[in-house]
Copies of this chain bind each other. A is one copy, B any other.
């Protein structure tokens, strides 16, 4: 278990929802998504819950409940997903306050904050360049020949 795979889980879920939508299935349950990601349905619900709070997906309760995309998948970018799922800044400043008697200790936090802000902006600009549709197209490109043309269903049910 290394870094944090929340962005991957969320994008995987959205990508599969986009594929299902293309095939006319508008609603998926957390269990169906979990079958593709191969994790526990609760993990998927936690992830989709964050996406719901960000307005990227909608949920229906009651019998026949499940999740749907709230927007066309080409209007959902990786930046939207990242912002919904990651709260911590990319780089943390000092955990304990540095020595304010030292010029570096006193001045480095605002300075680093500015540079880190620039890096964060660059990261977000790049994330905004890719949509869920882009991910889906790139994903199925790799498997089109083996699977899609045989009409296989998108995942276990």
Contact = CB atoms under 8 A, between A and B. Distances in A.
Interface of A: 1-5, 7-9, 11-12, 15-16, 19, 35-39, 78, 88-99, 101-108, 110-112, 114-115, 118-119, 121-123, 125-127, 129-130, 134-136, 138-143, 147-148, 152, 154-156
Contact of A35 (B91, B102, B135): B102
A112 B8 contact: yes
Contact of A105 (B9, B38, B110): B38
A4 B37 CA distance: 27
A110 B8 CA distance: 12
A134 to B, nearest CB: 8
Contact of A12 (B9, B108, B148, B154): B108
A87 to B, nearest CB: 9
Given A3-B91, A91-B3, A126 B119 contact: yes
This chain: copies in complex:
2
Given A4-B91, A16-B104, 12 more contacts: A2-B88, A5-B91, A8-B92, A12-B104, A37-B99, A102-B154, A104-B136, A107-B139, A111-B139, A111-B141, A115-B135, A123-B126
